Each structure stands twice: as structure tokens, then as C-alpha cells.
Amino acid sequence: MSNVSIKSPREIELMRRASEVTVATLMEVDAMIRPGITTEDINRFVHADTLQRGARPAPLNYHGFPKSVCTSVNEVVCHGIPSEKQVLQPGDIINVDVTSVVEGYYGDTSVTFYVGEPSPEAKHVTEVARRSLDLGIATVREGSRLGDIGAAIQEFAEKEGCSVVRAFVGHGIGRIFHEAPQVSHVGQSGSGMRLRAGMCFTIEPMINLGTYEVDVLDDKWTAVTRDGALSAQFEHTLVVTKKGCEILTQRPRALANSERFSDYWPKAV
Ligand code: MF3
Ligand code: CO
Ligand code: CO
């Protein structure tokens, strides 16, 4: 017996609604990304937009996190704290991680945006992260195993000359922001817990250009690459189904400041 909850159809509907809010907000963040804005501008927008949609921004006061969204620029791996002092520069990459709560249920999704034109290095790590998430998701169905997800991600990312962060993992999600299971982004296929229809969790690989090792800054939140090299991340919330999964945080169209620069993403903006 595992301690991973199976969500009812009613619960999944509420998670769909929470996830829809995160997607709508993230689509609007896409429209505001440009050199010269601050990460606090993004925080203010996400906070107000989430409330306007009848939801609550989950990061605010979560274990003391001081803002309503995580904004992780360049060598920041995750949990970057928005700041009025942090002005986006041309060539930066920034992950914006939005988590919203609707009627007690959570939706959690993030993307990495390009600020202006990306450098070849920025584009490489970001596109490897984008594809890593897709490859992890592609393994998910009733009866597949947790280790299949990490194996698919690790095999691809390392083949592309990148590393996969170990210190942070995807997570079960529902009425609780972070619940069982832990979803490692490295692993061995055929290992780990078997997935069952109705399980809900995130996959959110953090992919580095250099070492996978991270340090957490004195603010107790900001996680940075130990070698200062670039890091990128994408995250979806999903529910396991018999034949595969439903991506609860699927976007309705491509992002102007992310997928428009992707060589493999097929959709027009
Ligand atoms: N959204 C992050 C995740 O994907 C968690 C952020 S916790 C916070 O799990 F406190 F930093 F907001
Ligand atoms: Co998450
Ligand atoms: Co998140």
C-alpha cells in the first residue's frame, strides 16, 4: 500500500480549475516579459491577477516565503525571490513558477522565458529543460513506474551535455501543495512506485549547463548553481490516467517569449 492519494473525479475537476488559473496568469506574464521590468513587477502582477481570478497565490507565506511567485533568473535554479532591485536584462533567462489555490486545491506550473534574444547557451539549457519535461510526461500511464520518469529525463539531458538537479524534486499535489510522492528527475526505468489512475503530481526538471550541485543563499530560499552556470526549468501538474495522463496545466497556445524561440515546438504563437 502506498501513501499516495487517488483523487476523485470531483477533486480532479477542482485541480483542473486551480491549474487553469495558473495557466491564465502565466500566459499574461508572457506578455509582460521584456528587458527593463523588475521581478517585483512580475510578483505584483501575479498577486493581483491571481486574486482577480478568485484564487490565492500559494507561495505567499508558504513556510515564510515572502512573495506570491518564484522568479529564478540565469544561475538561479529555483525559489528566486522577486525584488524591486532585480531588473531583467537582454539575454537573461527567467523561470516564473505560478501556484494557485482554488477552493483548497492547488495547481502548479512554471516556464522559462527568454528576455530578448537568447545566447546559444541560454537556448540550449532552456530547450533541453523544455524537452526533458515532455519526455518525462511521455512515460506516465497507469502501471508505469516513478523511476521511468527520472530515467527518461536524465538520459536525454545528460546526452545533451547538461546535468539534472537532485536537490529538488517534483511532488504529489492536491489539497496540499507538496505531498507524496516525491518525483525525482533522475532514476532507473522499471524502478520505484507503480503509478495508478487518479494520482496527481508535478514533474519539474531543473536542468543545468554545468554541475548539478546547488547552494542555497543566506535568504534561505534562493537556490543557485554551485558553479554559477545557467539553469532552466519547466513544470506541469498532471493526473495519471489508464492510457497516459492529463496535463492539467496545458497551455492553450505557444508562449511568445519562450516557445517562439524553440526549434522543436510545432505550434505557432
Ligand atoms: N512552486 C514551487 C514548486 O514547484 C514551490 C515554491 S515554494 C515557495 O514546488 F515557497 F518558494 F513558493
Ligand atoms: Co511544484
Ligand atoms: Co512550482
pLDDT in tens, the chain (269 residues): 589 999 999 999 999 999 999 999 999 999 999 999 999 999 999 999 999 999 999 999 999 999 999 999 999 999 999 999 999 999 999 999 999 999 999 999 999 999 999 999 999 999 999 999 999 999 999 999 999 999 999 999 999 999 999 999 999 999 999 999 999 999 999 999 999 999 999 999 999 999 999 999 999 999 999 999 999 999 999 999 999 999 999 999 999 999 999 987 665 55
Residue 206, domain member (yes or no): yes
Give the span between the Cα atoms of 91 and 243, in whole angstroms. Answer: 40
Q: What is the pLDDT of residues 112-128, one digit of tens each?
A: 999 999 999 999 999 99
Spacing, Cα 97 to ligand 1 middle (Å): 7
| The predicted structure's pLDDT at residue 191 | 98
Residue 2, domain member (yes or no): no
Please give the number of the atom of ligand 1 that sits closest to the Cα of 63. 10
Do residues 9 and 90 lie in contact, with contact meaning Cβ atoms separated by under 8 Å? no
Residue 4, domain member (yes or no): no
State which residues form the domain around 160.
9-247
Quickly tell me which residue has 543563499 as its cell.
Answer: 217
Mutate-to-test residue for ligand 1 from 79, 112, 169, highest number of ligand atoms within 8 A of CB: 79
| The predicted structure's pLDDT at residue 263 | 85
Q: Is the backbone of residue 198 left (phi > 0), alpha (psi -120 to 50) or beta?
A: left
- Helix-helix angle 9-32:39-52, to 10 degrees: 140
- Whether the pTM exceeds 0.85: the reply is yes
Give the span between the Cα atoms of 94 and 251, in whole angstroms. Answer: 18
Give the span between the Cα atoms of 64 and 32, in whole angstroms. Answer: 27
Residue 257, domain member (yes or no): no
Residue 265, domain member (yes or no): no
Measure Cα distances from 201 to 15, 43, 62, 141, 239 in Å. Answer: 11, 25, 19, 12, 7
- Determine the length of the chain: 269
CATH number assigned to the domain comprising residue 241:
3.90.230.10
Do residues 22 and 70 lie in contact, with contact meaning Cβ atoms separated by under 8 Å? no
Residues 6+ apart with CB under 8 A from 39: 71, 73, 80, 82, 83, 86, 88, 94
- Nearest C-alpha to atom 12 of ligand 1 is from which residue? 59
Give the span between the Cα atoms of 119 and 56, in whole angstroms. Answer: 36
Specify the number of domains making up the chain. Answer: 1
- Nearest C-alpha to atom 8 of ligand 1 is from which residue? 59
